[in-house]
Amino acid sequence: MTQLGTPVQGVTLYSFTRAFHGREIDLEGLIRRVAAEGYGPGLEIIGFSSFRGFPEVDDRFAGEFRDLVAETGLVTTSLAVNADIGIHRDRLLTQDELIEYMRRQIEAAAKLGFPIARVQISLTPDSMEQLAPIAEQYGVTLALEVHADQYASHPRILALRDRYEQVGSPFLGFTMDWGATVTGFAPSLLEAYRRRGASDELLAKVVDLWNAFYEQGPPADQAEHGQRFGAFIGLAAQNGRPDLGIDFGINGTGLFGPARVDDWLEIMPWIRHVHGKFFGIDERGEEPSVPVRDLVRLLVEQGYSGAISSEYEGWHWNNWESPFDIIAAEQAVQRSAAEATGSRMITDAAEARRILDTHLGKAVQA
């Protein structure tokens, strides 16, 4: 029988993007607040949005950052890096250029003290195989994010999983993003559309359309994904709000993924990090559109003892509630779910370090 997992509580600073980009708080202040208000100990950061000049990181800054993390009692978990092959206006990166671009970011992750670099779906199995010895050189695990409109049993993800098995590197894995397993259109986003003048009748039709796609399950291929995207655009146009069509489509097909919770079993042994994606907390203190309790139960029962970074995505449209209060509420749901499954979330920094070292150590030996 698999031993129950003890996930480490954490947060990604992406959750506070609105406050950070609005100059309400700087990076140091944000890290200190995360520590003081108990949203850690796990700390995930997005490289390009948080570190000036990234991926170039000088030794002095790296030392100051490591000292700050140690002083505040947090534990670095994952550095989100980019695999953008379109950084030039006139051409895409060549394969050699992409590998070097990723190498520089992996090196930055190591220098800053992050054991995991979250990479993106634009990296192919060939790219991941080529990056494996680089990851091993720097001691940084590459955890490719499985994010809607992808899902664990998607052919692209299974192709990556199969290549991981062939390569046999313990430094290749996945980041599980809960947005792939949403159970309903986020009420907070419906409220945002309502504030933009969308009628209740139109919003009811949007919900009905999303629910119909949910019953069908994830799209089988890009053609079906495109058809669903087009259906949202058409619905908006037919109901007098063509200006909302693309927005409906982006969120309805690219942010709210309709895969089922047990779909994650396809890649569970390779999950190295988790994005606890959510969009809001209702008056009952629950997440109404993401099955947080079921997802935590699955992870605990499968023996997962890595970090869960609470990732509040509702900031894109919700500017009337504090992201700090919402993170605290969502993490309370996670802790409750772990306890209900007979385990617990790790909130002590020293224990978190031991747990995470063991988690990645087990991965190295797998």
Residues forming the active site: 147
Place of tokens 């003081």: 36
In sequence order, what DSSP letters do the residues of 168-186 get, joined into one string? --TTEEEEEEGGGB--S--
| Residue 346 DSSP code | B
Determine contact, residues 264/271, Cβ cutoff 8 Å: yes
| Residue 187 DSSP code | H
Query: What is the token pair recorded at 225?
Result: 């994904």
Query: What is the token pair recorded at 168?
Result: 């046999």
**How far apart are the C-alpha atoms of 335 and 291, rounded to whole Å?**
14
DSSP H or E segment with residue 30? helix 27-36
